[in-house]
């Protein structure tokens, strides 16, 4: 199986976290997101363990909640001792409503509005990561008006190519995120931030990209950032105590994927930090790391009902389901690959090749093309695997399709953590 939390029971049904997906689909309807709480918790603990064992606990894992933001997720990561990375007023609001302490929140965004900055300042968000000089000035003013000193980090583009999809690469110079090292912009930002009377510059941040399968880009990011931090100490006499290396560890979407485990990634990153600090005679910084996908991605599946099968001779066979790009836009956006199976025939061989089509009025509304699948029939339950990250969080109501319910499974028991959207919800704001 793709992830260890998936099993097949005596009836030949796919189970996640001990719960029969066919029963869940029957009871709750489809499309349906199902998340496995134990796996999410295990992933949180795995990250924290490496920081504890290899770095004396001098760090904080902040779950990047853009991967999946809902109140229950913040409660879970909070109870595991993690902080959270939020990237909008909406994510910040959700985290605070879930009871997360503002101090453990890192606020991101390359185009934050004044309302978002005011909210972050007034609620006492622990660190705000500044992306550009106009934002820095506005934040300084907002902090001054609130009579507060705000801890900030600066988002730096370290100029690293992380070998991932163009749309999820962020660390290179041609990117809308952050300050470039090569042009002197980053140095200018450090100087500007240290002169802001209401801001306390605590460190630097970078994020090189997402779904990164190897360890080396993370080590390289650490080296580049520390070299720059040492340069700032030497040239501007600013010694920054914190380094935030963003997120990005990849997960297994298909059987061919072979990502490095996150413990390996963090270990390699920490080793690079230690070596660089020794070489540069720089104090080892407090480390922040913001994994999103690798905490929730493998912990989720999406269940659909097969509505029809359409074979176009010598061309392809479509299996049409009751969801699609509305609940998982990743194929439409990035041609992302997934594994799928007929949940009620999970013990049978996947000996057909099909294209899974969604219900939207859009030819590109596919879950994937040429995917191996058991012989599908109308009424079957189709499971798409590893959909825990960037599926619900990017879901939309195109064609006025309500967004699905989400279940959290723990030790075989399921509970609803996001209710299914209703037609009434959809017209709620229509006048």
- Catalytic sites, residue numbers: 361
Closest distance to ligand LLP from the beta carbon of 243 (Å): 13
Site track 82-111 with ligand LLP (rule: CB under 6 A), x = hit:
---x----------------------x---
Question: Of 205 and 345, which CB lies nearer to ligand LLP in the complex structure?
Answer: 205
Which backbone phi and psi does 143 adopt, to 5 degrees?
-65, -45
Query: Which of 203, 390, 404, 407 is close enough to bind ligand LLP by CB under 6 A?
Result: 390
| Interacting residues with ligand LLP between 287 and 316 (CB under 6 A) | 290-294
Contact 371, 316 (CB under 8 A): no
Which backbone phi and psi does 186 adopt, to 5 degrees?
-65, -40
Q: What is the DSSP string of 355-414?
A: EEE-SSS-TT-EEEEEEEE----TTPEEEEES-SSSSGGG---GGGPPPPEEEEEETTEE
Q: Is 127 in the site for ligand LLP (CB under 6 A)?
A: no
Query: Which of 171, 248, 298, 324 is close enough to bind ligand LLP by CB under 6 A?
Result: 248
Contact 374, 358 (CB under 8 A): no
Q: Is 210 in the site for ligand LLP (CB under 6 A)?
A: yes
Closest distance to ligand LLP from the beta carbon of 26 (Å): 29
| Interacting residues with ligand LLP between 330 and 359 (CB under 6 A) | 330
Contact 56, 90 (CB under 8 A): no
Question: Of 210 and 401, which CB lies nearer to ligand LLP in the complex structure?
Answer: 210
Question: Of 116 and 290, which CB lies nearer to ligand LLP in the complex structure?
Answer: 290
Non-local CB neighbours of 334 within 8 Å, separated by 6+ positions: 165, 167, 168
User: Three-state DSSP class for 317?
Assistant: strand
| Interacting residues with ligand LLP between 31 and 70 (CB under 6 A) | 64, 66-67
Q: Is 30 in the site for ligand LLP (CB under 6 A)?
A: no
Non-local CB neighbours of 315 within 8 Å, separated by 6+ positions: none
Binding region for ligand LLP (CB under 6 A) out of 7-15, 203-211, 220-228, 412-420:
203-211
Which backbone phi and psi does 254 adopt, to 5 degrees?
-130, 165
Query: Which of 31, 126, 178, 247 is close enough to bind ligand LLP by CB under 6 A?
Result: 247
Contact 284, 241 (CB under 8 A): no
Closest distance to ligand LLP from the beta carbon of 400 (Å): 23
Q: Which residues bind ligand LLP (CB under 6 A)?
A: 64, 66-67, 85, 108, 168, 170, 207, 210-211, 246-249, 290-294, 330, 390
């Amino acid at each position: 199986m793709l992830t260890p939390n998936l099993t097949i029971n005596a009836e030949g049904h796919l189970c996640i976290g001990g719960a029969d997906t066919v029963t869940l689909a029957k009871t709750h309807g489809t499309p349906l997101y199902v998340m496995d709480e134990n796996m999410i918790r295990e992933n949180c603990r795995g990250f924290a363990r490496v920081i504890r064992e290899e770095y004396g606990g001098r760090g904080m894992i902040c779950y990047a909640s853009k991967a999946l933001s809902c109140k229950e997720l913040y409660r879970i990561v909070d109870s595991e001792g993690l902080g959270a990375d939020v990237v909008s007023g909406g994510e910040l609001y959700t985290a605070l409503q879930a009871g997360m302490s503002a101090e453990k929140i890192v606020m991101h965004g390359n185009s934050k509005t004044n309302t978002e900055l005011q909210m972050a300042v007034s609620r006492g968000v622990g660190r705000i990561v500044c992306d550009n000089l106009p934002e820095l000035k506005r934040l300084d003013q907002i902090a001054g008006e609130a009579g507060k000193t705000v801890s900030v980090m600066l988002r730096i583009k370290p100029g690293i190519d992380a070998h991932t999809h163009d749309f999820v690469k962020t660390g290179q110079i041609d990117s809308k995120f952050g300050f470039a090292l090569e042009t002197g912009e980053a140095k200018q930002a450090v100087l500007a931030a240290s002169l802001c009377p209401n801001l306390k510059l605590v460190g630097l941040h970078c994020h090189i990209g997402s779904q990164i399968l190897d360890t080396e880009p993370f080590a390289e990011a650490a080296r580049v950032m520390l070299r720059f931090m040492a340069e700032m100490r030497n040239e501007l006499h600013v010694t920054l105590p914190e380094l935030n290396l963003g997120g990005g560890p990849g997960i297994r979407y298909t059987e061919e994927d072979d990502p490095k485990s996150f413990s390996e990634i963090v270990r390699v990153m920490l080793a690079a930090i230690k070596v660089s600090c020794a070489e540069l005679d720089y104090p080892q910084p407090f480390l922040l790391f913001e994994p999103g996908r690798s905490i929730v991605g493998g912990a989720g599946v999406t269940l659909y009902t097969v509505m029809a099968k359409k074979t176009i001779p010598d061309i392809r066979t479509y299996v049409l389901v009751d969801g699609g790009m509305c609940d998982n836009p990743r194929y439409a956006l990035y041609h992302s690959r997934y594994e799928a199976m007929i949940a009620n025939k999970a013990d049978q061989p996947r000996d057909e090749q099909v294209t899974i089509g969604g219900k939207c009025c859009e030819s590109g509304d596919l879950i994937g093309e040429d995917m191996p699948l058991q012989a599908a029939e109308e009424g079957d339950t189709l499971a798409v695997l590893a959909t825990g990250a960037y599926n619900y969080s990017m879901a939309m109501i195109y064609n006025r399709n309500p967004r699905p319910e989400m279940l959290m499974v723990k030790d075989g028991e399921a509970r609803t953590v996001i209710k299914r959207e209703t037609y009434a919800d959809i017209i709620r704001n229509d006048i």
